[in-house]
Chains A and B, each alone.
Chain A
């Protein structure tokens, strides 16, 4: 991983980082990747890939409306709101 890869990932997540942070992060991520490489060297022939570390299955819930309107509470902690909407910098794709 190069610092430029880190910059790219940061951009996808809309995180603003400077060159020195990109440099540091690249170094530490490369260390993690070395660990991953070590894990990859284990022979996993015939082992089913796991989707979750817990050996359990998802519980399903009944289809019932259990939440109430708490809009005012959430709007109250947002930086900008109007007409019950959260306002964000203009997005047009």
Chain B
């Protein structure tokens, strides 16, 4: 039987505010346990939450960026459940009246463009962390993260493969980092994905029973995890079994998901409007003011790269998806004036090196100014393309700036015709047989044969000969 996969995502996006959503505690990552947990975060009696204006603004920015409706009247509710990393015994969240309603994100998989609808996005607080290392058979609780503002983005079940889900996840990452509302640090948990997966016979309208895999925080393993779950469900159904609705927890250390102990009682969160918080009311002026301040979004930047820099839509998309890459490209291009060459270097040498070192452009040892200078030296003929790679290596190893490296390593391209002629003479003298063959060959075969002499001369010049000039001199001397 042919199966169709149906995937919906819930994404927790930590907002890049300085302080928490309901208290003045810092949200900085990596502090010593519980040093950023105030009386409010700990749910001490007598405390009252006050909403962080910036969290509201960030959520509004997100809504506008995905073309959603912004609720002018939104309400916080209590989602009641018992867990030690949630000191209040409830999570303050939004249900009936979330701030962001609807909207969409467009993705591309291969040649195909697809629109993924967003059901809504709501503001809520993050929980603390439970550490299950052995504390004499007990668990340790760190409440630094409790109260960190989140938006939870809930999609419609519009994705049909792991590839599409990952494309959506990457696009969303690109949107929130471009907006500057999230630092996008996946390894620190700044974005966490819950994936709802079900399968159904192709053509069937009714949705199958779904499972939810929680807590994915790596694009790399997200697709694999989804494929594994699809396979597990197909195996179950094809062997006459059935899928049980359950929550599966992804373990970032082992890169596998396991079933969480199925909850004895159905989720009964007993939501009700939070009496500690009044409704948040915003007006049209608030929204239009934020709309005015929205930074350029990746899709707009892609279009601009295509028009302003004459890049192909493929190149423009690759360069505009990640904010740091886009800024790097633009800074280097402005300085060297050659968008195409800059694009090639970034998508070629730079990204190969970044991948090999498992790092990203923000942490690269080479700056946009370095790359621009390198390209400028190729363009003005100081160095050849080939030598430029040597200079690039040295830049990466932080051996100085471009000109200093060229100078120190003696990499300047040789364009002096006297020197080049000497090299060519030597090659001709050392390869009498090849010279004779060349001279006896018909004219149409000669250009191909010239390659041998170019190669030999280049080698002799240690790769530094100006290729155009070298060609010219060789031809002249061989034709004699």
Q: A residues bordering B, Cβ < 8 Å?
A: 8, 11-14, 51-52, 54, 56-67, 69-71, 74-75, 80, 82-93
A8 surroundings in chain B (CB, below 8 A): 265
- From the candidates A11, A14, A64, A84, name the one contacting B35 in the complex (CB within 8 A): A84
| Closest 4 A/B residue pairs (Cβ) | A66-B24, A85-B140, A63-B54, A60-B53
A52 surroundings in chain B (CB, below 8 A): 273, 275, 277-279
Closest to B130 in A: A91
Closest to B16 in A: A63
- Bound state CA distance, A5 and B18, in angstroms? 43
B-side interface mostly: loop
- Bound state CA distance, A58 and B73, in angstroms? 10
- Bound state CA distance, A40 and B449, in angstroms? 97
A74 surroundings in chain B (CB, below 8 A): 34, 37, 39, 42
Tell me the minimal C-beta distance from A71 to chain B in angstroms: 5
- Bound state CA distance, A67 and B27, in angstroms? 11
**With A71-B37, A86-B143, A88-B84 in contact, is A60–B56 under 8 Å at CB?**
yes
- Bound state CA distance, A65 and B75, in angstroms? 24
B14 surroundings in chain A (CB, below 8 A): none
* CB of B268 within 8 Å of the partner chain: yes
- Bound state CA distance, A10 and B17, in angstroms? 37
Closest to B53 in A: A60
A-side interface mostly: loop
Residue among B18, B40, B51, B139 with the highest chain A CB neighbour number at 10 A = B139
* CB of B93 within 8 Å of the partner chain: no
B23 surroundings in chain A (CB, below 8 A): 67
**With A60-B53, A65-B18 in contact, is A89–B32 under 8 Å at CB?**
no
Are B24 and A93 in contact, CB atoms less than 8 angstroms apart? Answer: no
Tell me the minimal C-beta distance from B130 to chain A in angstroms: 6
> Per-residue 0/1 for B11-52: is the Cβ within 8 Å of any A Cβ (1 yes, 0 no)?
000000111000111100000111111111010000000111
- From the candidates A12, A82, A91, name the one contacting B268 in the complex (CB within 8 A): A12
Residue among A8, A69, A85 with the highest chain B CB neighbour number at 10 A = A85
- Bound state CA distance, A90 and B141, in angstroms? 10
- From the candidates A11, A71, A84, A91, name the one contacting B139 in the complex (CB within 8 A): A91
Tell me the minimal C-beta distance from A86 to chain B in angstroms: 4
